[in-house]
Amino acid sequence: MAAAARPKRARFQWTARAREALTGYLFILPWAIGFVVFIAGPMLFSLYASFTNYNVTSKFDWIGLANYKKMFFNDPFYWKSMGNTLYFTVFSVPINIMVGVVSAVMLFQNVPLQKMWRTIFYLPKVLTGVAVLMLWVWVFNPQDGLMNNLLRSIGVDSPPLWFASPKWSKPALIVMSAWSATGGILLYLAGLQAIPKQLYEAAQIDGASGWRQFLNVTLPMLSSTIFFKLITGINGAMQYWEAALIVTNPPGSPSNSTLFNGLYIWNTAFRDLKMGYASAMAWVMFVITLILAAIQFWGSNRWVYYEGERR
């Protein structure tokens, strides 16, 4: 008698949708591995370290909220650094946005040698690094610097001491950041090119002046680009510290006037080797940055316009 035939096993078949999904996952796999290993993993480790007395070498004991209590109630340098960071953010971000928008609008006009001017204004984006910062140290030199020589030439007898003065050190850093803001004009230029010409023609028919066209057409249509620069600008300003490390000696001087929160975290972690305490400060800054971003997104509904958005 012949043996009974075995039932055939159903063969798995890839659908087009499944193959497309698998291809997508394979493409993002390198980024996902890098994110977990180099970003998410260290972040979780630093969160745990913020509750310990980790000092890189021997200590790694759980101390609960001691780092956070010390930060909020027993560390005047922490509040000094937060005050400096807030000062820099409040003044530098609006100035940088204003410089970027005005520069882009000027370069968007039909002026002679337009491409050359655009290249010159984009140079700050290319000329970054320690060399440029050292050039700024010379510009703000109290005795022979370019800035004070210019001020003396227009009749200022006692020009500021800039990085040697607690009063003028942060304004000098704000001027430095405003210079580099022109490097971001490409985004504003792209936003200006996307504004329909018909809007300006309609405004001109209604008799609107150039200033009214800027206020009622250009700025509203450019609001989404400005919002993006506002978000990234505040995030960047809250983490600002590299320039202060390089242009001041010792870092954070004079009188801790340039001791920004990022610089204080760096000093605590890599100079004092108090990694646990530095991690706690970093996480507080992370939460503050998230809250500020959430507030900006919440308020954006009142002033940001997206073309094609249904309300």
Give per-residue pLDDT as tens, 232-278.
Answer: 999 999 999 999 999 998 889 999 999 999 999 999 999 999 999 99
Q: How far is CA 48 from the centre of its chain?
A: 26
Give the residue with greater pLDDT, 208 vs 111.
208
pLDDT score for 213: 93
pLDDT tens for 124-175 read 777 767 888 889 999 999 998 999 999 999 999 899 999 999 999 999 999 9
Q: Which two tokens stand for residue 118?
A: 């655009």
Please calculate the CA angle 121-127-128 and round it to the nearest 5 degrees. 120
Rounded alpha-carbon distances, angstroms, from residue 184 to 94, 113, 123, 220: 14, 20, 10, 19
pTM, two decimal places = 0.87
The answer, yes or no, to whether residue 32 has pLDDT greater than 60, is: yes
The whole-angstrom distance between residue 113's C-alpha and the CA centroid of its chain comes to: 31
Q: Which two tokens stand for residue 79?
A: 């509040």
Question: Across residues 43-58, what is the average pLDDT?
Answer: 91
